[in-house]
Amino acid sequence: MASPVPLRRPAWVEEFSAFILKGNVVDLAVGIIIGAAFTTIVSSLVKDLLNPLIGLLIGGIDFSNMFVTLKGPSEPTLAAAQHAGAVTLNIGIFLNAVIQFLIVGFAVFWIVKGLSRLQVAGKKAAAAPPPPSEVLLGEIRDLLAAQTNAAKSAE
């Protein structure tokens, strides 16, 4: 049995569909996915490679265990302090986040710089010669200007 009231899709549904399918939104989604994967790589770089090296250089300090106990039992490691229910100020975890931010910022800087160079090189290569009709019109203009100048100098 047919519905007595015809059902229409609201206009915003069409607008939303057009918005989602725009290239910019899809590019943004791809960028976010790649960014999340890049963040995992940078986290591992900082945690597994840089922090041990920096810790070794400054006397074997493990950044992840740099913390201050504000309330509760004082424990030798952050995990033990948190397990005991202590309130801690996690300085080492914050330092890890700062190092990760600097690495990501540095990497993004070089990526953007490289892409900018490629875009400039692409624009220079894309500059095509003018079409033959424009070249011909330019020659006609130059000939007319030369004739006008010759006529003026003959007077």
DSSP assignment letter at 58: T
Higher-confidence residue: 86 or 8? 86
Q: Dihedral sign for Cα 16, 21, 24, 25, please.
A: positive
Which CATH number characterizes residue 45's domain?
Answer: 1.10.1200
Q: What is this structure's pTM?
A: 0.52
Within-domain flag for 155: no
Residue 73 near residue 81 (C-beta atoms within 8 A): yes
Q: What distance in Å separates the CA atoms of residue 137 and residue 31, rounded to the nearest whole number?
A: 47
The tens digit of pLDDT for each residue in 58-116 reads 777 667 788 999 998 988 888 899 999 999 999 988 988 888 888 878 877 888 888 88
Q: How many CB atoms lie within 10 A of CB 46?
A: 22
Q: According to the model, what pLDDT value does residue 85 have?
A: 92
Within-domain flag for 152: no
Q: Residue 116's domain spans which residues?
A: 16-126
Counted domains in the chain: 1
Strand-pair partners of 68? 89
**88 phi and psi, to 5 degrees?**
-125, 150
The tens digit of pLDDT for each residue in 28-67 reads 888 889 888 888 888 888 778 887 887 788 777 667 788 9
Q: According to the model, what pLDDT value does residue 126 have?
A: 63
